[in-house]
Structure 1
Amino acid sequence: MSSLFGKPIDTLKGVGKKRAELFAKLGVPTVGDLLRFYPRTYEDWSQTIDIEETVANEVNVIKAEVLATPSEQRIRGGMILYKTTVADESGEMQLTFFNNPYIKSLLYAGKTYLFRGKVSSGFIKKEMTSPDFLPESRNLPILPVYPQTQGLSSRMISDAVKQALLLLGETVKDPLPAELRQQYELCHLSFALENIHFPKSEQELATAKTRLVFEEFLVLQLGLMKIKSRRKENNVHLVSSQFPDEFAELLPFELTGAQKRAIQESIDDMAGKTPMNRLIQGDVGSGKTAVAAALCFAVIKSGKQAAFMAPTEILANQHFNSLQVLLEKCGIKVELLTGSVTPKNKKRIAEELIAGEIDLLIGTHALISETVAFKNLGLVITDEQHRFGVGQRSALAQKGEHPHLLVMSATPIPRTLALMIYGDLDISILNELPPGRQKIETFLIDSGKRRRAFGYVQKHLEEGRQGYLICPLIEEGESELTSVTAYAKIVAAFFPKNTIGILHGKMKAKEKEQVMQNFAKGELDLLVATTVVEVGVDVPNAVIMLIENAERYGLSQLHQLRGRIGRGKHKSTCILVSDSQQEDTIERLKIICSSSDGFKIADADLKLRGPGDFFGKRQHGLPQLKIADMMSDIEILKKSQECARQLLESEEIQEEPYRFLRAEIRLLFSKSQDLTFN
Structure 2
Amino acid sequence: MPTEIKLLKGLKNILENEISSNFSDKSIKYGLEKALAVALKQFPLWNGFWTQKVLDLIKDYSKRTYEERAQAVVRIKDIIERAIEFYTDENFWEKSVQFAKGVGPHRAKLLNRLEIHTIYDLITYYPRDYDDRSKLKKISEIKPGERVTIKVKIIDYEETKTLYKKIPIIKAKISDNTGWAYAVWYGQKYIKQVLPPGTELLISGEAKRLLKHIEFENPEYETLDEGEDKEFLNVGRIVPIYSLTSGLTQKVLRKIIYDALTDYSIFLEDPLPKYLREKYNLMDKPVSVWEKHFPTSFLTMASASKRITFEELFFLQLNLAKKRREIEELSAPVFNIQSELVEKFLGSLPFKLTKAQEKVWEEIKKDLSSGRPMHRLLQGDVGSGKTVIAALATILAYDNGYQTAFMVPTEILAEQHYNRLKNIFEPLGIKIALLTSSTPKKEKTYIYLDLAEGKLPVVIGTHALIQEEVTFKKLGLVIIDEQHRFGVIQRAKLWKKGEAPHLLVMTATPIPRSLALVLYGELDISIIDELPPGRKPVITYLFSKKERRKVYSFVEKEIEKGKQAFVVCPLIEESEKLEAESAKKLYEELKKFFPRFNIGLIHGLVPREERTRIMEEFQKGEIQILVATTVIEVGVDIPNASIMVIENADRFGLAQLHQLRGRVGRGSEQSYCFLIADLKGENAKERLKVMVETNDGFVIANKDLEIRGPGEFFGTKQHGTLDVLFVDLTKDMKLFEIARNEAFEVIKNQNERIEEYEKVLLNKWLNKYLRGELKEIVL
TM (norm. structure 2) is 0.77
Kindly indicate whether residue 718 of structure 2 is the aligned counterpart of residue 630 of structure 1.
no
Q: Which residue of 2 aligns with 1:165?
A: 261
Q: What CA distance in whole angstroms lies between the structure 2 residues aligned with 1:300 and 1:665?
A: 39
- 1:655 is aligned, of 744, 755, 770, to 755
> Do the aligned partners of 1:251 and 1:326 also contact (CA within 8 Å) in 2?
no
Which of the numbers 283, 300, 305 marks the counterpart of 2:403?
Answer: 305
Select the residue among 531, 534, 550 that pairs with 1:452.
Answer: 550
Change in 2 beyond 3 A, CA 1:541/1:71: farther
Letter in 1 for 2:371: K
- Code of the residue aligned with 2:768 in structure 1: it is L
Determine the C-alpha separation between the residues in 1 that align with 2:304 and 2:169: 41
Structure scoring higher RCO (CA < 8 A, sep ≥ 6) equals 1
Q: Which residue among 388, 391, 412 is the counterpart of 2:489?
A: 391
Shift of 1:63: 5.1
Is contact 1:352-1:358 (8 Å) kept? yes
Aligned CA distance change for structure 1 residues 53 and 617 (closer, same or farther; 3 Å): farther
CA-CA distance at 1:414 after TM superposition = 2.0
Amino acid at match of 1:345: E
One-letter code aligned to 1:300: Y
For residues 515-530 of structure 1, what are the structure 2 equivalents within 5 Å? 517=615, 522=621, 524-529=623-628
How much does 1:19 deviate? 4.4
1:213 aligned onto 2:314: no
Q: CA offset at residue 404 of structure 1?
A: 1.0
Q: How does 1:39-78 map to 2 (within 5 A)?
A: 39-47=127-135, 61=149, 65-69=153-157, 71-76=159-164, 78=165
Aligned length: 674
Describe the superposition over 1:21-45 as per-residue Cα deviations: whole angstroms up to 9, x where unpaired. 5555544444334332323333332
Deviation of residue 609 (structure 1)? 6.1
Q: Which of 558, 562, 577 is the aligned partner of 2:657? A: 558
Q: Return the letter of the residue paired with 1:365.
A: H
2:530 partner letter: E
Distance 2:286 2:740 in 1: 24
Residue 539 (str. 1) matches residue 627 (str. 2): no
* Residue 568 (structure 1) aligns with: 667
Query: 2:776 & 2:600 partners in 1: Cα distance?
Result: 43
Which residue of structure 2 lines up, in the alignment, with residue 34 of structure 1?
122
Name the CA distance, whole Å, in 2 between partners of 1:229 and 1:116: 55
Comparing 531-540 with 403-412, greater Cα deviation is found at 531-540
Instruction: List per-residue Cα deviations over 1:195-241 (Å, max 9, x = no partner).
Output: 11211221111111111111111111111111221114543421124
After superposition, the Cα gap between the structure-2 partners of 1:482 and 1:315, relative to the gap in structure 1 and judged at 3 Å, is closer
2:421 aligned residue: 323
Q: 1:502 to 1:197 in 2, by over 3 A?
A: farther
Moved more, 550-559 or 393-402: 550-559
Q: Which residue of structure 2 aligns with residue 664 of structure 1?
A: 765
Q: Quick check: 1:554–1:605 contact (8 Å CA) kept in 2?
A: yes
For residues 312-332 of structure 1, the C-alpha deviation after alignment (integer angstroms, 9 at most, x for no partner) is 111111111111111111211
CA distance in 2, matches of 1:237, 1:408: 21
Measure how far apart 1:162 and its partner are.
2.8
Classify 1:447/1:260 alpha carbon distance in 2 versus 1 (closer, same or farther; 3 Å).
Answer: same
Is residue 161–residue 169 contact of structure 2 (8 Å, CA) maintained in 1?
yes
Aligned to 2:171: 84
Q: Distance in 2 between matches of 1:309 and 1:616?
A: 20
Residue 560 of structure 1: how far off its partner (Å): 1.9
Structure 1 610/238 Cα, relative in aligned 2: closer, same or farther at 3 Å?
A: closer
Q: Distance in 2 between matches of 1:215 and 1:126?
A: 46
**1:62 shift after superposition:** 5.2
Q: Is this contact kept in 2: 1:669–1:676, CA < 8 A? A: no
SS of the residue aligned with 2:470?
coil
Cα deviation code 1:411-457 (max 9, x no counterpart): 11222321111122221111111223332111234444332222101
Say which is worse superposed, 381-390 or 45-54, in terms of deviation.
45-54
Counterpart position of 1:237 = 333
Q: Unmatched 5+ residue regions in structure 1? A: none
SS in 2 for 1:289: helix
Q: Which segment is superposed worse, 380-389 or 657-666?
A: 657-666
Task: Tell me the SS of whatever aligns to 1:399.
Answer: coil
| 1:307 shift after superposition | 1.0
Which of these residues, 277, 301, 307, is aligned with residue 375 of structure 2?
A: 277
| Alignment match of 1:376 (pick from 446, 456, 474) | 474
Q: Which residue of 2 aligns with 1:260?
A: 358
**1:139 equivalenced with 2:232 (yes/no):** yes
Query: Displacement, 1:58?
Result: 7.3
Change over 3 Å in CA distance of 1:163–1:583 after alignment to 2: closer
Q: In the alignment, what sits opposite 1:603?
A: 702
2:388 is the counterpart of 1:290: yes
TM-score (norm: length of structure 1): 0.88
Q: Deviation per CA, 1:267-310, whole angstroms, max 9, x where unpaired?
A: 21111121111111111111111110000000000011111111
Separation in 2, partners of 1:64, 1:508:
67
In 2, distance between residues paired with 1:438 and 1:385? 28
Change (3 A) 1:312 1:29: closer
Look up the match of 2:741: 642
One-letter code aligned to 1:427: I
**Is 1:427 matched up with 2:528?**
no
User: 1:466 matched to which residue of 2?
Assistant: 564
Maintained 8 Å contact 1:313/1:513: no
Contact 2:476–2:502 (Cα < 8 Å) also in 1: yes
Identify if the C-alpha distance between structure 1 residues 93 and 489 changes in structure 2 by more than 3 Å, giving closer, same or farther: farther
Give 1:591 deviation, angstroms. 3.5
Deviations 1:526-549 (A, max 9, x none): 344554543352233322123345
Q: Which letter does structure 2 place at the counterpart of 1:80?
A: I
Q: Given the superposition, is the C-alpha separation of residues 331 and 165 from structure 1 closer, same or farther in structure 2, using an over 3 Å criterion?
A: same
Q: Flag the 1:55–1:550 CA change in 2: closer, same or farther, 3 A.
A: farther
Tell me, in whole angstroms, the C-alpha distance in 1 between the residues paired with 2:316 and 2:360: 27
CA distance in 2, matches of 1:650, 1:535: 42
Is 461-470 or 93-102 further displaced after alignment?
Answer: 93-102
Deviation of the 1:88 alpha carbon: 5.4
The structure having more radius of gyration, on CA atoms, is 2
Counterpart contact for 1:350–1:373, Cα < 8 Å: yes
For residues 40 and 328 of structure 1, do their structure 2 counterparts lie closer, same or farther at Cα, with a shift above 3 Å needed? same
Does the C-alpha gap of structure 1 residues 62 and 675 become closer, same or farther in structure 2, counting only changes over 3 Å? farther
Q: Supply the distance in 1 between the matched residues of 2:155 and 2:629 (Cα, whole angstroms).
A: 55
The one of 259, 280, 289 equivalent to 1:184 is: 280
CA deviation after TM superposition for structure 1 residue 650, in Å: 2.4
The answer to which of 157-166 and 659-668 deviates more is: 157-166
1:81/1:286 Cα in 2 relative to 1: closer, same or farther (>3 Å)? farther
User: 1:241, 1:509 → 2: CA distance?
Assistant: 42
Q: Relative to structure 2, which stretch is displaced further, 189-198 or 465-474?
A: 465-474
Instruction: State how far apart, in whole Å, the 2-side matches of 1:17 and 1:314 are.
Output: 45
The share of aligned pairs that are identical, in percent, is: 41
Residue matched to 1:411: 509
Cα 1:647/1:608, change in 2 over 3 Å: same
| Secondary structure at 1:424 match in 2 | coil
Aligned CA distance change for structure 1 residues 379 and 155 (closer, same or farther; 3 Å): same
The CA distance in 2 between the partners of 1:470 and 1:55, in whole Å, is: 51
**Match of residue 30 from structure 2:** none
Give structure 2 stretches of 5+ with no counterpart.
1-47, 49-85
- Could you say which residue in structure 1 is the equivalent of 2:717? 618
1:45 maps to a residue whose letter is: R
